[in-house]
Structure 1
Amino acid sequence: MRYDVAVIGSGIAGLNFALRSAEKGFRVVLITKKRVANSATNFAQGGIAAVLEQTDNFKQHIKDTLEAGSYNNNRAAVEYMVTRGPSAIHRLLELGVPFATREDGELMLTREGGHRARRIAFVGDYTGREIERTLVRKARQNPLITILENTFAVDLLVRNKICYGVQILHNGRVTNIFTPITVLATGGLGQIYRHTTNPDIATGDGFAMAQRAGCILKDMEFIQFHPTALNVRLKRMFLISEAVRGEGAYLRNKDGKRFMVKLHQLAELAPRDVVARAIFKELASGRVFLDLRHKNPRIIRKRFPQIYTTLKKYKLDLTKDLVPITPAAHYSCGGVHVDFGGKTNIQNLFALGEVTHTGVHGANRLASNSLLEALVFSDTIMRHIKKIPQKFPKNANFRRLRMTQLTIAENRELTRLKKEIQKILWDDVGIIRNTADLKNARNMLERIAMILSSYKGFHVKLWEVKNMAETGLSVIEAALKRKKSLGCHYRMA
């Protein structure tokens, strides 16, 4: 079958764009690495920020976003996103997302770090899951959208700065999909770090593909660490939503003291980079805890059902116990540079969501602006793509990678290299950085990249580890170039 649009990624950005494309009558193929619902969106707890009450205003949301981003943001992009926030929420309501409401039927809003008003629309503590479920249902019902699950995007098909589509591994075969429009919506890179809130799929594939294709990557040094991941031994770290602090939770050190009160006027609701660094420093001398014991237990259980239930599995009661927490790699504020229309510097290639650099986040993302950005800019692209080129110059001369089988020894070696990459990034390119560590990390990753280059053929595990190494090097190079601390890029030397 011929397609007009290829979308790589099935989070809020990719799904919403696929639906918008289908509404225009375009035939869409949606390519997703695992199951369609297995995206970072599915794990988003907090909500979506938008000005929805008379007590709030665009000016304040813009100011909060700029302050959180250390004014390294593209102000025009921030204004563009914020002013379209209400219509983005209404779009989700029309699609059927069951946002929490008050008794009068109006949306119930919460507050998160860096926000000076209650402006976060939410669904319990599983907002992302409900958005994903709604969008997936709509996509599956649409006859113009073909979903290819368990399909690995190998590389973009680019020649002479023109994108012709994407090479994929589907049903055990490497094949090329040629489309007039290709959209990169592959999400984040959290798995390059040892400790992350991101799902296993977030190995930085989109960043690496884009770089190999010749795209401009910008602000890759700005990796946001979420302040409050559950600090117990877990295969994948469990995020404790910013909204918990928005509803009044305290942060306490090993001595039981609220250390954030003296560090920032917003205390526990300071921007994420400030809170993450403060917790990281406190952890050097002991554990750090989240404390909700002073709040009404019934309200807390109702407001945070998923968090409450998950903590009970670890014999922790959110309403009665101090909950041990730690920062974890969470979000890339930089990425593939795009304009307001999602255009990259490669013709016919667009990008959306966390993989991009729109400029809205600056040096540190304001809580709950990520889903908003994905929604607003995936709507915006459709205004720029007026029609699909009728005479699309297909070029079938792109080589197809040869599939290979890994030996037991090679499989073990790739597992070891993956863990080594994660350790290097966490130890040397983490919350607090210095020149010596960054240079050491670069040297070690370059060595790993050399080892990986000796492998011949294609295997998903090999390609993922290659993508991790390439993306990690992009982060390191950007961090070395930025000599001074800014936002979530904090250098001691």
Structure 2
Amino acid sequence: MKNFDVIVVGSGIAGLNFALKSAEKSYRVLVITKSKIDDTGTRLAQGGIAAAIADYDHYKQHFNDTLEAGAFHNDKKAVTYLVKHGKEAIERLLEVGVKFNKKDGQLLLTREGGHRQRRVAFVADYTGLAIEEALVASVHKNKRITVLENTFVAELLIKNKKCYGVQILRDKKFENIFAKVTALATGGVGQIFEHTTNPGISTGDGLALAFRAGCKFKDLEFIQFHPTVFKFRGQTSFLISEAVRGEGAFLLNSKGKRFMVGKHPLAELAPRDIVARAIFEEEKNGSGFLDFRHKTTDYLQNRFPQIYKELAKSGFKMKKDLIPISPAAHYLCGGIKVDLKGKTSVKNLYAFGETACTGVHGANRLASNSLLEAIVFTNNVPKVNHSAFANRHSEFISESNHEILKPPQGGAQQVQDDATTTQKHQLAALRTNLQKTMWRNVGIVRNSTDLKKALKFAQSLLKKIHNAQTKESLELRNMAHAALLITKAALARKKSLGCHFTTI
């Protein structure tokens, strides 16, 4: 594999936009994804992208809503940068071909939790999918971008606090690829929890890679639990967009009462952490439900086509039935500490999107700010001196003389076999135990006793898989590292704030 100017790990909205922007600067770019290019968390995003672009709105109102949702723990400089560049983000997505819903040539805007104005641009109820498809199409057309699918990044190549590229596991072989800039855009950590809205690829790989590279982190204790995930036969399945409540759906308890009225001035549209805890409490005495029976069938089918179809598969009709819902792990508000350019504490290593922490989300993310953040902070490729890209081949470290080229934990350069069936079953069992442990002990409501149990489990798990050599074991090691980091951060914060709620 040849060397590149830029390596991007991850193929969601942040990774692909950064890749495209880098290619526009004539840089040679490699995008690496451990699954298919379109198997991302982005494609599951339903609601939309927030931006104060309407005449009745102003970026200062968006700023205030973002801070209130984040329990005023946000980095104000980062939030200001975010909300001021909302219009540019929308224009960028239109440029790559996203077909937002419009009426008479004007963007339609909806409202979601925590927003005091309609400012969320959307594509029906599959905005993320529309964005992902547009970005993927643009990437495939760009000759400066190479894509490696089904390729696992085992380690970052680090020496003297400087990143030189990545070590990959592909076709049972470890291989090193060098670049002047490496960007982590690996998404979230939802799969370390038993119940999550995240896809199977969201295993905290970016956090784990950054941890082993020596990066600094910020706000890892703030895990957002989405309030309204469809719950059927005792299991959560798919997310029901906040836009449903933005368009007038009610939250009812088992007695048919709107339980959010009186708990927050915005009622059903209160920030997510508040709604999630309220539903969590209601579940102790029964269930929580979404009620959209006061809308017409035509409206529901046209405005929320995917949600309507998915519910119908389980025998539920939005017009006639109360929809059972429950919270699930949804979004990592913290992450790898970066500046407004995406720089980490390791030279030549950047991070963007959910795996990064610019500080914009504070202690709880405002709805539909995630897609906005992903575009805003990747729209500007890092200003690297031209000399940093010149003579790139002569500056690369020789593969024949560098200790960082060894496979992880000093293992063989080539993996002789995949994990055996027995080993896969053992790894799957350990993975399930980790997910259950994290959900039970590092969930919506926490206490120090439970957090210490989770910490002990993660430490024990890391000892069991310290010599990871297969994709399955390497991924589980990443999950354990992510769980360890998050639990330690939660233990360090003694008082409740935002989506970190502790009773002791």
Which TM-score tier does this pair reach, normalised by the shorter chain? over 0.9
Q: Distance in 2 between matches of 1:476 and 1:297?
A: 44
Is 2:406 the partner of 1:399?
yes
Contact 1:260 1:267 in 2 (8 A): yes
| Aligned CA-pair RMSD | 1.3
Distance in 1 between residues matched to 2:203 and 2:373, nearest whole Å: 21
SS in 2 for 1:174: strand
Match of 1:482 in 2: 493
Residue 237 of structure 1: SS of its match in structure 2?
Answer: strand
Q: What corresponds to 2:119 in structure 1?
A: 119
2: CA distance between counterparts of 1:236 and 1:485?
A: 26
Cα displacement string for residues 388-426 of structure 1 (whole angstroms, at most 9, x for unaligned residues): 432443233221343254233322211111000000100
Tell me which residue corresponds to 1:410.
Answer: 423
Instruction: Give how far 1:177 is off.
Output: 0.4
Distance 1:165 1:422 in 2: 31
Task: After superposition, give the CA deviation of every residue in 1:12-49 in whole Å (9 maximum; x if it has no partner).
Answer: 00000110011110000000110000000010000000
Q: How does 1:342-357 map to 2 (within 5 A)?
A: 342-357=342-357
Matched, 1:384 2:391: no
Q: 1:409 to 1:49 in 2, by over 3 A?
A: same
- Which amino acid in 2 is paired with 1:480? L
SS at match of 1:156: strand
Q: Within 2, Cα distance between the matches of 1:247 and 1:386? A: 48
Deviations 1:420-460 (A, max 9, x none): 0000100000000001111111112212222122xx35100
Q: Matches of 1:445 and 1:2 in 2, distance apart?
A: 36
Q: Provide structure 1 residue ranges, at least 5 long, that are not aligned to the other structure.
A: none
Return the offset for 1:235.
8.2
Matches of 2:248 and 2:12, distance apart in 1: 30
Kindly tell me: are residues 448 and 300 of structure 1, through their superposed partners in 2, closer, same or farther at Cα, counting changes over 3 Å?
same
Matched position secondary structure for 2:325: strand
Aligned 1:86-485 pairs, distance under 5 A:
86-102=87-103, 104-233=104-233, 237-380=237-380, 382-387=381-386, 388-392=388-392, 393-395=395-397, 396=399, 397=402, 398-400=405-407, 401-402=411-412, 403=415, 404-453=417-466, 456=467, 458-485=469-496
User: What amino acid is aligned across from residue 436 of structure 2 in structure 1?
Assistant: K
1:11 alignment counterpart: 12
Deviation at 1:386, TM superposition (A): 4.9
Shift of 1:234: 8.8
Answer with 481-490 or 444-453: which moved more: 444-453
Structure 2: distance between partners of 1:451 and 1:236: 30
The alpha carbon displacement at 1:329 in A equals 0.2
Moved more, 392-401 or 69-78: 392-401
In structure 2, the residue corresponding to 1:321 is in which secondary structure? coil
Letter in 2 for 1:449: L
Whole-angstrom distance in 1 between the partners of 2:223 and 2:440: 14
Look up the equivalent residue of 2:87 and give its one-letter code.
P
Q: Could you tell me how far apart the structure 2 residues matched to 1:385 and 1:224 are?
A: 34
Q: 1:64 & 1:44 partners in 2: Cα distance? A: 20
Q: Residues of 2 paired with 1:98 and 1:221: CA distance?
A: 36
Structure 2 residue matching 1:420: 3-state secondary structure: helix
Letter paired with 2:28: R
Letter in 2 for 1:175: E
Contact 1:74 1:362 in 2 (8 A): yes
Distance 2:462 2:6 in 1: 33
Other structure's SS at 1:426 match: helix
Secondary structure of the structure 2 residue equivalent to 1:196 = coil
The CA deviation at 1:236 is 7.3
CA distance in 1, matches of 2:365, 2:211: 23
Distance change >3 Å, CA 233–CA 379, structure 1 → 2: farther
For residue 459 of structure 1, what is the amino acid of its counterpart? Answer: T
| In structure 2, C-alpha distance between the alignment counterparts of 1:256 and 1:464, rounded to whole Å | 43
Q: Is the 8 A contact 2:236 2:326 kept in 1?
A: no
Range 397-406 or range 262-271, more displaced = 397-406
Gaps of 5+ in 2: none
1:383: how far off? 4.8
Percent same amino acid among aligned pairs?
Answer: 54
8 A contact 2:10–2:33 mirrored in 1 = yes
Give SS of 1:378's match: coil
Residue 92 of structure 1: CA displacement?
0.8
Structure 1 length-normalised TM? 0.97
The residue type equivalent to 2:464 in the other structure is I
**1:74-130 alpha-carbon deviations (Å, 9 max, x no partner):** 00000001000001101111211000001x210000000000000000000000000
* Mapped partners of 2:321, 2:189: distance in 1: 32
| Aligned partners of 2:230 and 2:236 also within 8 Å | no
| 8 A contact 2:468–2:474 mirrored in 1 | no
Q: CA deviation at 1:173?
A: 1.9
Is the contact made by 1:199 and 1:236 (CA closer than 8 Å) also made in structure 2? no
CA distance in 2 between partners of 1:205 and 1:51 (Å): 33
Aligned to 1:28: 29
CA contact 2:268–2:275 (8 Å) conserved in 1: yes
Q: Structure 1 residue 170: deviation in Å?
A: 2.1
**Secondary structure of residue in 2 paired with 1:294:** coil
SS at match of 2:390: coil
Measured in 1, the distance between the counterparts of 2:435 and 2:66 equals 30
Per-residue deviation, residues 168-217 of structure 1 (Å, max 9, x unmatched): 11233210001111000000000000000000000111100000000001
Q: How many Å separate the matches in 1 of 2:170 and 2:149?
A: 8
**1-structure distance, mates of 2:384, 2:118:** 35
Secondary structure of 1:128 counterpart: helix
User: Structure 1 CA distance, aligned partners of 2:234 and 2:469?
Assistant: 31
Distance 2:253 2:235 in 1: 25
**Closer, same or farther: CA 169–383 of 1 in aligned 2, 3 Å:** closer
**CA distance in 1: counterparts of 2:271 and 2:101, whole angstroms:** 25
SS at match of 1:89: helix
Structure 1: how far apart are the matches of 2:464 and 2:356? Answer: 29
Which residue identity is paired with 2:29? Answer: V
Question: Which residue identity is paired with 1:287?
Answer: S
Q: Deviations over 1:297-354 (max 9, x none)?
A: 2112100000000000000001211000000000000000000010001111011000
